[in-house]
């Protein structure tokens, strides 16, 4: 038996605050599909994916109906293709991407992640073939998402790979110039990529994982914002310690629901439950925004002085509440600040409150990085690589995940508008310092060594 | 030992449970279950007790009535048949139905009529009507068991239609959600 207050607070959360399970992602190991015959390999992975994911969408919808909480996205992540398809050349990698795209379509999922390579210490043959294939693969498919890990705290930063990614992103943008460089929105460059991310575009299934797992991404920026609003209305003098507690309690509730639903889906599919990713993931809808939380906290806008510390408070409280609520936590776990995917954040950029430099500072204390940032189309490959390298340094030195998802929008300049559509949203193009210039520092290439772990300052 | 169910009703005051259980103890009865609640100032208690073979229902009633009527309490007893105990449970899923909306007569009757038609069993009901049009002042919270073979879609549709006709805001949620959030 529950008290009236307990019941009413839950009902309020479900009804008016956009609470949902953002994604249930089926992770599939493809390593035993190995073959050096491209036809056999693509047949194997198609059969594996469509077989395992046959009931994924149906079961997620059934469980969503049972609890009255929708599972918004159903997705698939696979073993890094650069490893699973290591014998193949770039041309053959394209047919792997097409097969992934078809398999995802047959399973009725909107995205499949794992067209990925791990090159933080060196680039193997399969990695090079995959990266070479990326621009065309992401242009020719709708559902395939790609990621490349170019740095880690243990390996350092592979600047050769970073430079290669700068060129690759430019080419991907060029090939999708008619869609504002949309291919780049499906490509993340990582430092310290986790093996169990359920969120796109970075989702892939690490080589240390089992045959199949269900990973769940919870969300709920709207729930956190409303909780802060309610608390500050009833007590305008709340201090930041008290607000942190409110966010923590709210994150706990959101995560409990994610875990409940994820476990039910996993049980019905007969697949091991992996992790809950405790992320605040916004969508381009009012009331479902991470940016709005900054205003509820009392800042004029995300991006003004105070934003980094506010994000630090938010991110930490979300982790604390979520970690206690779930038996297994993983993935990115923190607040996302994707510019085009969050209406409020993209407005902050348009109004001049948020610069790319402030975004970079904020990524030191949140879960991802420079995410869905539209930049001028004439940004040089070297400058792109330099932005990526800066972001990787933050991850490597601070022993955390960072990533970039940069879109140099062809033919457009700072202040113009880029439109990606759907969950990817839209955004003003943010100015980049020294966009077209050269970068002789980065051009030297090589591996920046892994950092020392003592003398912590 | 026979089993009896005893219900006690009257204005609330300290000492009601003490009085009832003292009489039961004196008559060598064994309490198995007790539930009590207070609505506004009225007390209601239900006791399931085992009574010795030598004690008749009439005797038990006389003892209880003699002790409790001076306190302004009404008492009623009924023997539990074995059929009551062996009744098989229907397989079901627990849900919580919450309504909010302007007060009027017949709200509980309308909602429970739909539930009864779908063989939904109400396991706990908290209803508070302060009157007036403020939805937050007029709330019903039903904890219910919905039979697994019931047609959930029609049930939900019927409940929503009825709620709409009564200007009620209705929410139908699985009980596990409330457990997940409110219980560690």
Among residues A272, A259, A263, the alpha carbon closest in space to that of A205 is found at A272
Among residues B109, B28, B183, the alpha carbon closest in space to that of A3 is found at B183
CB contacts, 8 Å: A4 with chain B: 126, 128, 139, 141
Contact A10 B126 (CB under 8 A): no
Contact B176 A256 (CB under 8 A): no
Test the B interface: residue of A5, A8, A11 with most B CBs within 10 Å: A11
Among residues A339, A301, A338, A359, the alpha carbon closest in space to that of A427 is found at A339
Can you read off the two tokens belonging to residue A150? Answer: 């170019």
Instruction: Please provide the DSSP assignment of A290-357 as one string.
Output: SHHHHHHHT-SSTTSTTHHHHHHHHHHHHHHHHHHH-SSB-SS-SB---TTT-HHHHHHHHTTS--HH
Q: Does domain B2-85 have CATH number 3.30.930.10?
A: no
Kindly report the number of other CB atoms within 10 A of residue B157's CB atom.
12
Which of B124, B174, B181 shows the shortest C-beta gap to A1? Answer: B124
**CATH number, span A219-448:** 3.20.70.20
Q: Examine domains B2-85 and B92-182 and report if their fold is the same.
A: yes
Contact call for residues A252 and A323 (beta carbons, < 8 A)? no
Chain B residue with the nearest C-alpha to that of A264: B176
Q: Average pLDDT, whole number, for chain B?
A: 90
The C-alpha R_g of chain A, in whole angstroms, comes to: 21
Domain B92-182, CATH homologous superfamily name and number: ACT domain (3.30.70.260)
SS3 B98: strand
CB contacts, 8 Å: B170 with chain A: none
pTM reported for the whole predicted model: 0.88
Q: Where are the domains of chain B?
A: 2-85, 92-182
Q: Supply the pLDDT for residue B25.
A: 95
- Please name the helix (run of DSSP H) or strand (run of DSSP E) that holds residue A432, with its range, or none: none
Secondary structure of B10-37 as H, E, C letters: EECCCCHHHHHHHHHHHCCCEEEEEEEE
Contact A259 B180 (CB under 8 A): yes
Q: Supply the pLDDT for residue A108.
A: 96
Which of A4, A11, A15 shows the shortest C-beta gap to B126? Answer: A4
What is the mean pLDDT of each successive set of 10 residues along chain A, which is 457 residues long?
84 78 94 95 97 95 88 95 96 97 96 97 96 97 97 97 97 96 96 93 92 90 91 93 95 91 94 90 86 95 96 94 89 89 93 95 91 96 96 95 96 94 92 91 96 85
Min Cα distance B125 → chain A (Å) is 10
Q: Which residue has the tokens 């490959």?
A: A381
Residues of A with CB under 8 A from a CB of B: 1-2, 4, 6-8, 10-11, 13-15, 66-69, 253, 256-257, 259-260
Test the B interface: residue of A10, A71, A263, A267 with most B CBs within 10 Å: A10
Contact A2 B96 (CB under 8 A): yes
Triad A234, A257, A111: Cα angle to 5°? 115
CATH of A4-191, one of 3.90.850.10, 3.30.460.80, 3.20.70.20, 3.40.30.10: 3.20.70.20
Chain A residue with the nearest C-alpha to that of B144: A1
Q: How far apart are CA A124 and CA A149, in angstroms?
A: 13
């Amino acid at each position: 038996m529950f008290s009236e207050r307990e019941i009413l607070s839950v009902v309020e959360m479900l009804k008016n605050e956009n609470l949902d399970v953002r994604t249930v992602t089926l992770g599939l190991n493809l390593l035993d599909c190995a073959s050096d015959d491209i036809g056999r390999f693509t047949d194997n992975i198609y059969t594996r994916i469509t077989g395992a994911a046959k009931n994924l969408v149906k079961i997620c919808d059934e469980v969503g109906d049972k609890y009255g909480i929708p599972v918004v996205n159903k997705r698939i992540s696979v073993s890094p293709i650069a490893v699973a398809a290591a014998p193949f050349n770039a041309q053959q990698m394209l047919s792997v991407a097409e097969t992934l795209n078809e398999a995802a379509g047959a399973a009725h999922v909107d995205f499949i992640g794992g067209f990925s390579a791990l090159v933080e210490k060196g680039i193997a043959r399969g990695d090079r073939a995959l990266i070479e294939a990326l621009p065309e693969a992401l242009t020719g498919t709708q559902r395939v998402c790609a990621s490349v890990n170019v740095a880690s705290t243990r390996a350092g930063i592979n600047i050769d790979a970073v430079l290669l990614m700068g060129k690759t992103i430019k080419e991907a943008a060029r090939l999708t110039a008619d869609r504002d460089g949309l291919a780049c929105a499906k490509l993340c460059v990582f430092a310290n990529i986790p093996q169990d991310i359920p969120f796109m575009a970075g989702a892939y299934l690490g080589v240390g994982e089992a045959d199949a797992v269900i990973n769940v991404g919870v969300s709920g920026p709207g729930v956190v914002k409303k909780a802060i609003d309610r608390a500050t209305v009833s007590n305008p003098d709340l201090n930041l310690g008290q607000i942190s507690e409110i966010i923590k309690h709210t994150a706990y509730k959101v995560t409990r629901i994610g875990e409940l639903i994820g476990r039910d889906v996993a049980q019905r599919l007969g697949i091991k439950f992996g992790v809950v990713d405790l992320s605040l993931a916004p969508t381009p809808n009012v009331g479902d925004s991470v940016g709005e939380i900054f205003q509820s906290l009392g800042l004029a806008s995300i991006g003004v002085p105070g934003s980094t510390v506010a994000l630090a408070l938010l991110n930490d409280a979300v982790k604390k509440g979520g970690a206690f609520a779930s038996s297994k936590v993983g993935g990115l776990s923190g607040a996302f600040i994707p510019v085009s995917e969050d209406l409020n954040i993209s407005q902050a950029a348009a109004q001049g409150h948020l610069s790319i430099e402030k975004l970079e500072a904020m990524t030191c204390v949140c879960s991802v990085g420079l995410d869905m940032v539209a930049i001028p189309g004439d940004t040089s490959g070297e400058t792109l690589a330099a932005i990526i390298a800066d972001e990787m340094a933050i991850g490597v030195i601070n022993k955390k995940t960072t990533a970039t998802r940069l879109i140099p929008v062809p033919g457009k300049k700072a202040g113009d508008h880029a439109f990606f559509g759907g969950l990817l949203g839209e955004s003003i193009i943010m100015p980049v310092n020294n966009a077209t210039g050269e970068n002789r520092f980065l051009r030297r290439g090589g591996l920046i060594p892994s950092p020392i772990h003592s003398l912590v300052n | 030992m026979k089993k009896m169910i005893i219900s006690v009703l009257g204005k609330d005051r300290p000492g009601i449970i003490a009085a009832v259980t003292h009489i039961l103890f004196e008559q060598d009865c064994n309490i198995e279950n007790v539930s009590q609640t207070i609505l506004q100032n009225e007390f209601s208690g239900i006791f399931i007790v085992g009574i010795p073979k030598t004690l008749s229902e009439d005797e038990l009633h006389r003892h209880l009535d003699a002790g409790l009527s001076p306190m302004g309490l009404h008492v009623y007893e009924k023997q539990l048949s074995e059929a009551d105990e062996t009744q098989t449970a229907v397989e079901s899923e627990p849900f919580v139905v919450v309504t909010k909306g302007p007060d009027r007569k017949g709200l509980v009757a309308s909602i429970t009529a739909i539930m009864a038609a779908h063989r939904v069993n109400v396991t706990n009901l908290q209803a508070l009507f302060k009157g007036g049009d403020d939805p937050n002042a007029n709330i019903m919270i039903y904890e219910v068991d919905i039979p697994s073979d019931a047609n959930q879609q029609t049930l939900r549709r019927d409940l929503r239609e009825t709620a709409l006709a009564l200007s009620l805001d209705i929410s139908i949620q699985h009980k596990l959600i409330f457990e997940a959030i409110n219980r560690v």
